Amino acid sequence: MRNTVSTILEQKNRKDKITMLTAYDYSTARLIDEAGVNSILVGDSLGMVMLGYEDTLSVTMEDMIHHTAAVARGCKNALIVADMPFMSYQTSVYDAVCNAGRLMKEGRAHAVKLEGGVRMCPQIKAIVESSIPVVAHIGLTPQSLNVFGGYKVKGRDEETARELIRDAKAVEEAGAFAVVLECVPDKLADLITEAIHIPTIGIGAGAGCDGQVLVYQDMLSLYSTFKPKFVKCFANVGEIMTIAFKQYIEETKAGVFPGEAHVFNIPDEIIGKLYK
Ligand code: KIV
Ligand code: NA
């Protein structure tokens, strides 16, 4: 079944958990889509997990369009959400609308995601008014790394907890159709989930959210040995890949690969003539 903004919204009312995973390329998007996930996020985490940057700040619009288009070609049913990269929407409402439009037109995303609550509402409103669905992202917002001096849980004290509730209500009011809660105490995430009518999609925000999102490299142990508290390893694919790579090297060196099954034949009589 094709997932749309309306089917995602209905899932909240039915209490049917929304599943979201990141993808950045055609082959992985196909596997994730065929597994039956509701939504694929082309996250700006691609800067780190695909491109090897230290943080997400260097990711460009061109990077996002390139990867979103590849994901779109691999998807039949998932709702594709593309992250707006750092400085593609903070600069002005006009820039936000133009760049959201590029992710839709050139990347073929179905929706865009941007970081920020109250202070990003003018951008959210304008993008939604341009007929582009928006997912907001509050709590730990990696693009603000340098303001906060690191990646930290948000909403542990009364002041920041109230601020998060205000942000969630504000992005709903501005027209966002869902909100990602990253690294928020689970009981606060529960409260926010009850307080708003749009779905909450949690990452490090507990099981009470309307949905969950994970970076696929994290759940498959493909990226780094550092494992944030909220990550669960569902399969150690990194280890399986390493075993396969080593076996390829060994078999090639030993002349075991390629074998009979992997070669093309030519009739003996022809090869005999060529040797003369
Ligand atoms: O970029 C990303 O992968 C994200 C998720 C962690 C929500 O924004
Ligand atoms: Na992101």
CATH (domain of 215) = 3.20.20.60
The finding on whether 80 has its CB within 6 A of some atom of ligand 1 is no
Does this complex have an ipTM over 0.85?
A: yes
Q: Looking at the predicted structure, is the pLDDT value of residue 218 above 80?
A: yes
Which residue, chain included where needed, has tokens 């009981």?
Answer: 187
* Residues 75 and 185 reside in one and the same domain: yes
Phi, psi of 140 (to 5 degrees): -75, 115
Q: What are the pLDDT digits (tens) for 129-180?
A: 999 999 999 999 999 999 999 898 999 999 999 999 999 999 999 999 999 9
Strand-pairing partners, residue 136, are 114, 179
Domain that holds residue 170: 5-235
The finding on whether 203 has its CB within 6 A of some atom of ligand 1 is yes
Q: Looking at the predicted structure, is the pLDDT value of residue 28 above 90?
A: yes
Q: Catalytic amino acids?
A: 182
Q: What are the pLDDT digits (tens) for 178-204?
A: 999 999 999 999 999 999 999 999 999
* Residues 138 and 33 reside in one and the same domain: yes
Q: Is 95 annotated as a binding residue?
A: no
DSSP label at 262?
A: G
DSSP letters spanning 223-252: S-S---TT---S--HHHHHHHHHHHHHHHH
Q: Looking at the predicted structure, is the pLDDT value of residue 225 above 90?
A: no
The finding on whether 43 has its CB within 6 A of some atom of ligand 1 is yes
* Residues 19 and 136 reside in one and the same domain: yes
In this prediction, residue 1 has a pLDDT band, given cuts at 50, 70 and 90, of: confident
Cβ pair 232, 44 in contact under 8 A: no
* Residues 197 and 261 reside in one and the same domain: no
Tell me the three state secondary structure of residue 68: helix
- Nearest C-alpha neighbor of 124 from the set 84, 182, 184: 84
Position 270, amino acid: I
Closest atom of ligand 1 to 115 CA is 8
Q: Looking at the predicted structure, is the pLDDT value of residue 226 above 80?
A: no
Cβ pair 154, 140 in contact under 8 A: yes
Q: Using most ligand atoms within 8 A of CB, pick from 44, 86, 201 the residue to mutate for ligand 1.
A: 44
Q: Count other Cβ atoms within 10 Å, centred on residue 145.
A: 17
* Residues 263 and 198 reside in one and the same domain: no
Return d(Cα 91, Cα 218) in angstroms, integer.
Answer: 31
CA distances from 214 to 16, 82, 148, 271 (A): 18, 14, 23, 56
